[in-house]
Amino acid sequence: MKSSIKAALFSALIFPGAGQMLLKQYRRGFILLLLTLIPLFFVLRDDLQQAVVIADKIQSGAMPLDAQVISQSVENADTHNALPLDIARYMIAACWFIGIIDAFRAGKRKDATAQIEPQA
């Protein structure tokens, strides 16, 4: 399999930066990893807080253990910081997309140099 395809798949299916790490571009991979992990932390923290509130309501009996009711509660949840969370989600998606494209392009360069160099 070509390096470009393999690196792009690593970045797409594993995590942003994984393709760069595969191509031994550790600094780029680490930067992409951090740029994805930081907003991911804030999104997961908010989602976990929301889950704890819902779980407490279920445990106290204020909300029935019904998937439809829980789903409605999640949809109606008061997100006091919706805009920062939306920005964080867009940052995660952008980093993922950039990681895939960058890994593919870096892999293409590696494939091109491998074809030029004589193989032993």
Supply the Cα-derived Rg of the chain in whole angstroms. Answer: 21
pLDDT tens, position by position, 56-103: 999 999 999 889 988 888 888 766 678 889 999 999 999 999 999 999
pLDDT tens, position by position, 8-17: 999 999 999 9
Residue 33 in this model has a pLDDT that exceeds 90: yes
Q: Give the mean pLDDT of 19-25.
A: 95
Q: Which residue has the tokens 């595969």?
A: 22
Amino acid at 61: G
CB count in 10 Å sphere of residue 88: 19
Distance CA 6, CA 8 (A): 6
53 closest CA partner among 29, 79, 28: 79
Q: Give the mean pLDDT of 23-32.
A: 96
Helices 26-60 and 67-75: angle between axes, nearest 10 degrees: 120
